[in-house]
Amino acid sequence: MFEYTKTILKKVSFDATLFCKELQKALQRLLPYEIEELKIYIKSLILQNPELNQCLILLKP
């Protein structure tokens, strides 16, 4: 499920609104250790697409 989530987030990274929606779905279905890995992955995506920075608020506990 983690790899699938990464694929989806990569595909929608062109649109910050869509990215945030998919990120919310991912946070509901992933396990806690997968969420930690996802945070690392998202930070690397943000380096490529700075407009996604607004979605980081969803990752706060």
Q: Domain range for residue 33?
A: 2-59
Note the pTM of the prediction, 2 decimals: 0.87
In the prediction, which pLDDT does 56 show?
87
Mean pLDDT, rounded, for 16-24:
94
Has residue 17 got a pLDDT over 90?
yes
Amino acid residing at 58 = L
In the prediction, which pLDDT does 61 show?
65
Answer for the pair 16, 55: CB distance below 8 angstroms, yes or no: yes
**Helix 32-48 to helix 2-11 angle, to the nearest 10 degrees?**
20
Backbone angles phi, psi at 34, to 5 degrees: -70, -35
- Condensed to tens digits (0 to 9), the pLDDT of residues 26-56 reads 999 999 999 999 999 999 999 999 999 998 8
CA distance linking residue 47 with residue 18, whole number of Å: 18
Taking Cα atoms as reference points, which of 53, 41, 54, 51 lies closest to residue 10?
A: 41
| Number of domains within the chain | 1
